[in-house]
Amino acid sequence: MKREEIMAVYNAGPQAVIKLVESIILKQQEEILELKERIKALEDRLLKNSSNSNKPPSTDWPAKKRSLRGKSSRSAGGQKGHKGYNLKMVEVADSTTVHKVSTCSKCGSCLKDTLPAGYSKVLRLFDLPPIKVNVEEHRAEQKTCPYCGHLNKASFPEDITQPAQYGPRIKAILTYLNQYQLLPYERTGELFYDLFGTRLTASTIAGTNRACFEALKHTEEKIKDEITASPVIHVDETGMYVDGSRWWLHVASTKNLTYYAAIPNGERLPQRI
């Protein structure tokens, strides 16, 4: 209320003030009741899951599992008497770095031309070599036959078709990171730039995935045949979203094989997976 309205009620006398207070209390009670109903509706919505409603399992909130194990009196880390595991020495190293003695630590004489009497200790450092993208140039020879004059041209490998393209190792790592390790396109590109100094676009990664998909068609059909022929299989489905639209991910599996099929909501799964 504005100041003028409050003063008008005050000047009207005690009855007007009591009436105003009663109206304020009544309004607050109505608002409290409305808020309670909204809280109850939100709580009911949060308590719904795949076991008490028609919601798919993928929408369930992760339940915090309570451990049945009691609190241990042991300290964290390896326990006393536990056999530790360290890096094992290898018989032959990939490279050797010699740390030389160039001057005498006592008299300062030059020892650069003095042969070493031995080595105090041999240490092995396990690390990755500097990583960079290797650019390999391919040339196809042309030779003129000295007997008949025919010009002969060598053939390029079948998988090299463009003036500049990525090789099979880069493509394999791209597919592995994006499809198996589930890194998004942008983060896969960031990783390649951070580690290898090479920028990759989302379209390049998507094209690599498509090429892998085409190459695995025969394998996919073989997995389908073996699952179909199995006397016992496990089947399940879970909901997911693709570009904001509802889809269903179906799975059929045996002990050793798994097949996934994603279809939009409303469409039926083919008779044969």
* Residue 191 within a domain: yes
Task: Give residue 30's domain range.
Answer: 1-43
* Residue 31 within a domain: yes
Taking CA 139 as the corner, what is the angle to CA 138 and CA 143, rounded to the nearest 5 degrees? 155
* Residue 175 within a domain: yes
Q: Report the candidate in 116, 91, 89, 88 with the shortest Cα–Cα distance to residue 101.
A: 116
- Identity of residue 129: P
Task: Report the pLDDT value the prediction gives residue 4, as an integer from 0 to 100.
Answer: 76
Measuring CA to CA, how many Å separate 3 from each of 10, 25, 99, 146, 238? 11, 19, 87, 112, 60
Same domain for 236 and 207: no
The answer, as to whether pTM is greater than 0.75, is no
Same domain for 242 and 272: yes
* Residue 266 within a domain: yes
Same domain for 244 and 211: no
**Contact between residue 165 and residue 200 where contact means Cβ atoms under 8 Å apart:** no
* Residue 189 within a domain: yes
Tokens of 68: 């049945």
Map residue 27 onto helix, strand or coil: helix
**How do the pLDDT tens digits run along the chain, 273 residues long?**
677 777 777 777 788 878 888 888 888 999 999 999 999 888 888 887 777 776 776 666 665 555 566 666 677 666 666 666 667 777 788 888 899 999 999 999 999 999 998 888 788 888 888 888 999 999 999 999 999 999 999 999 998 989 999 999 999 999 999 999 999 999 999 999 999 989 999 999 999 999 999 999 999 999 999 999 999 999 999 988 888 889 999 999 999 999 999 999 877 766 655
Domain count within the chain: 3
* Residue 196 within a domain: yes
Q: Report the candidate in 119, 86, 87 with the shortest Cα–Cα distance to residue 101.
A: 119
* Residue 265 within a domain: yes
* Residue 256 within a domain: yes
Task: Report the pLDDT value the prediction gives residue 273, as an integer from 0 to 100.
Answer: 56
Task: Report the pLDDT value the prediction gives residue 65, as an integer from 0 to 100.
Answer: 53
